[in-house]
Chain A
Amino acid sequence: MATSIRTLVLRVVGDSTRNIHHVLGSRVKHSFCNAGITVCRGYSDGKSTHFGFETVPEEDKAERVYKVFESVAKKYDVMNDAMSLGIHRLWKDTLLHIMNPQPGLRLLDTAGGTGDISFRFLEYTHSMYDRQQRQRARSNQTPSWQDLAGHYKTDEAAPSQSRAVVYDINKEMLKVGKQKAEKAGIGTGLSWVMGDAEELPFDDDQFDIYTIAFGIRNVTHIEQALQEAFRVLKPGGRFLCLEFSKVSNPLLERLYDTYSFQMIPVLGEVIAGDWKSYQYLVESIRKFPDQETFKEMIEGAGFFCVQYFNLTGGIVAIHSGFKL
């Protein structure tokens, strides 16, 4: 037992020192890497892309991302709570508040994985619907016979009118999400679809709201995912993206970097038994474009009224755009 702990500690220390060298070494290469990749993308489709701080051929990235999430699927939610100290729940709640969905809308929760956003969406719309009904009942002291008859009919139909589709490329994540839904007893209005965010198997003008929470940085061709989002949204539909972004405050940035590179992979190893996946996670955050650049990418896909909201000092940003 002592030896196993010793080997574990040695491995942890070894990994972290390797990590520091890696980080220091790649800081300089950072800007060159970014410029190089964007130049590549500009001229041709680009033969390689980033996978964290590694450069990999484009065809491989999707597969490697798949493997990452396949291995972390079971401990995904636990790790989220541990890494963000539970704050990810507040981020997702804020996303819902900004969305402010009316009852009866259709949501496409891309990279929905374990279904956090979809569950919150259904809860929100159901409670909104209840509140509207209560207000209608309060203001309507002497309802006519037609209204009463109407209420009996619509009581079952209306709450399930808001529908959410959880869409993910990874079967394991969807499996975990389905189990969660069963346990929570959320059944009506929820569908689970597997597929690639760059090629949505839906017709045009299908959804009112398209969300992608902590998923778009894993997509190989972000512009394609944005264009697909534009395609499947109805006119007036809303695109929402919750994603890690650039921290504005330099002091906070330093703390955040230290926490990301020192603590998170260690937590990943201890809780989920997977150092590399969480190393990929924090590196992919650094490779993602900052708020303004991403806003321009969204506008390039054809969205209007694009704005972003910084949460927790810029650690996370919510981008919103409309198809008008």
Chain B
Amino acid sequence: MAALIRGLRAGRVLRVAVQAKLSPQCNNVRRGFHRATLLRVADDRKSDTSVPPPSHHEVHTAGESSSTSAQGESADAAAGQGDAQPNTSYQDQSGEHSEDYETEEQLQTRILTAALEFVPQHGWTVEAIAAAAETLGLSAASTGMFNNGAGDLVLHFISQCNAHLTETLAEQHNQVQLGHTEPKETAQFLRDVVEMRLRMLTPYIDTWPQAMSILLLPHNIPDSLKHLSTMVDDIWYYAGDRSTDLNWYTRRAALTGIYNTTELVMVQDSSPDFEDTWAFLNNRIKDVVNIANTAKQVQATGEALVQGFMGAAITLKNLTGMDQRR
């Protein structure tokens, strides 16, 4: 058994199905893992996927957990099912028992996804993670796996939301390509996308200020900036921006500003269904569009003015006879 474990260590794989001694306390764990195992095996027979990119793995987790967020264990099992799909393709070369295993990262993802349910009660803290670990049948001491503690939880939530957003945008884009729906104009598209992304925060809006402050801690800033910039980049890509000049930067900077300020407004908004926030968002996007239009007009006017001056200068020169060749 020790040799087998050592052999499988190469793939950093977690042994789930077989433990040497079972005991009543472990039954919860067995149930959860076995259910996940059954779902994984069933799912494998249905679909043969090539190695999906990590975003899809997050997407499955996000898709499953958002639809069944009310039910604890089923969400975990479903998330486990979604989690396993990348694993089976990686494990194919190393072991026959690939369906029974999940890696440490997948387990950590499962714990963090489960921890989101405890956030309204405990806030974005290690206690939420501890409570989630206990529902999964693990001891609360397993929170030590997360060296960054609450930061890990917030970053996990953000990447989950962004992955869900990207998936939705890709679907919409497909629909437009296939001709089923009309393409939206840019301002409307941005408005809808930012609203959709911010609505993902509504279940946690009471504790969101705490999450924002965690994201601003110095050791978390690189990660949170990375998530923010990739999200803004994705949004502009699906809005149709293919610019390769200074516009690339100005557009992303503008959208980052809009998103951050709208988020701040949303956090202290008490109107029904955040109407004030969407009105604020509308105004900001209108401002940006105005500025863009104004910039274009200024440029056009400037060109026209320059041409006018050139014409006047040439006329003057002609009138005074300065450019006559003798």
Spell out A's residues near B (CB within 8 Å): 98-102, 104-105, 132, 203-205, 208-209, 231, 233-238, 299-302, 304-305, 320, 322, 324
B98-110 vs A, CB cutoff 8 Å, 1 = contact: the mask equals 0000001001000
Does B86 sit within 8 A of A, measured CB to CB? Answer: no
Q: Does B29 contact A (CB under 8 A)?
A: yes
Query: A322 is contacted by which of B9, B26, B145 (Cβ under 8 Å)?
Result: B145
Contacts of B140 in A (CB 8 A): 102, 104-105, 208, 236
Identify which of A203, A208, A299 contacts B141 (C-beta below 8 A).
A208
Enumerate 29 A-B pairs (CB-CB under 8 Å) in ascending A order: A100-B144, A101-B141, A102-B130, A102-B141, A105-B141, A205-B23, A205-B25, A208-B140, A208-B141, A209-B141, A234-B139, A235-B25, A235-B29, A235-B138, A236-B133, A236-B139, A236-B141, A237-B139, A238-B144, A299-B9, A300-B6, A301-B2, A305-B145, A320-B144, A322-B141, A322-B142, A322-B144, A324-B14, A324-B107
Question: Which residues of B have CB within 8 Å of A98?
Answer: 144
**B21 in the interface, Cβ–Cβ < 8 Å?**
yes
Chain A residue at minimum C-beta to C-beta distance from B24: A205
* Closest beta carbon of chain A to B319's beta carbon, Å: 83
Q: Is the interface of A mostly helix, strand, loop or mixed?
A: mixed
Q: Determine which of A105, A132, A203, A300 lies in contact with B2 in the assembled complex, contact meaning CB atoms within 8 Å.
A: A300
- Give the A-binding residues of B (Cβ under 8 A): 2, 5-6, 9, 12, 14, 21, 23, 25-26, 29, 104, 107, 126-127, 130, 133, 136-145, 149
Q: Are B142 and A304 in contact (CB under 8 A)?
A: no
**CB <8 Å contact, A102 and B5:** no
Cβ contacts under 8 Å, A235 to chain B:
25-26, 29, 137-139
Q: Across the interface, which residues of A come within 8 angstroms of B127, CB to CB?
A: 102, 132
- Cα–Cα distance between A304 and B16 once the two chains are bound (Å): 12
Most chain A Cβ neighbours within 10 Å, of B12, B25, B144, B149: B144
Find out whether the CB atom of B5 lies under 8 angstroms from the CB atom of A236. no
Residue pairs across A and B with CB atoms within 8 Å: the count is 79
Q: Are A324 and B138 in contact (CB-based, < 8 A)? A: yes
Q: A99-B144, A204-B21, A235-B26 are in contact. Are A105 and B138 (CB under 8 A)?
A: no
How distant is the Cα of A226 from the Cα of B127 in the complex, in angstroms?
28
| Residues in A neighbouring B143, C-beta threshold 8 A | 100, 102
- Complex Cα spacing A233 to B2, Å: 17
Partner of A102, one of B12, B26, B126, B137: B126
> How many angstroms from the CA of A10 to the CA of B21 in the assembled complex?
59
Q: How far is the CA of A104 from the CA of B2 in the complex (A)?
A: 32
Q: Which residue from chain B places its CB closest to the CB of A238 in the assembled complex?
A: B141
B253 to chain A, nearest CB (A): 37
CA distance A205 to B26 in the complex (A): 8
Judge whether A324 and B142 touch: CB under 8 Å: yes
Q: Which residues of chain B are near A322, meaning CB under 8 Å?
A: 141-142, 144-145
Contact of A208 among B6, B29, B137, B139 (CB under 8 A): B139
Bound Cα distance A14, B119 (Å)? 66
Of listed B9, B127, B139, B140, residue having the most chain A CB within 10 A: B139
- In the complex, chain A residues whose CB is within 8 Å of the CB of B2: 300-302
On chain A, the residues within 8 Å of B14 by CB distance are 304, 324
Q: How far is the CB of B100 from chain A (nearest CB, A)?
A: 14
Q: Which residues of chain A have C-beta atoms less than 8 A from B144's C-beta?
A: 98-100, 238, 320, 322
The CA-CA distance from A300 to B10 in the complex, in Å, is 12
Nearest Cβ in chain B — how far from A210, in angstroms? 9
Bound complex: CA of A235 vs CA of B23, how far in Å? 11
Contacts A204-B23, A205-B25, A305-B104 hold; do A300 and B141 have CB atoms under 8 A apart?
no
Inter-chain CA distance A300–B133, complex, in Å, is: 24
Residue of A nearest to B105 (CB): A305
CA distance A209 to B130 in the complex (A): 14
Residues from chain A with a CB closer than 8 A to the CB of B25 are 205, 234-235
Contacts of B141 in A (CB 8 A): 99, 101-102, 105, 208-209, 236-238, 322
Q: Which residues of B contact A99 (CB under 8 A)?
A: 141, 144
Inter-chain CA distance A104–B127, complex, in Å, is 12
Q: How far is the CB of B171 from chain A (nearest CB, A)?
A: 35
Residues of B within 8 A of A209 (CB): 139, 141
CB of B232 to closest CB in A, whole Å: 33
Expressed in whole angstroms, the minimum distance between the Cβ of B131 and any Cβ of chain A is 9
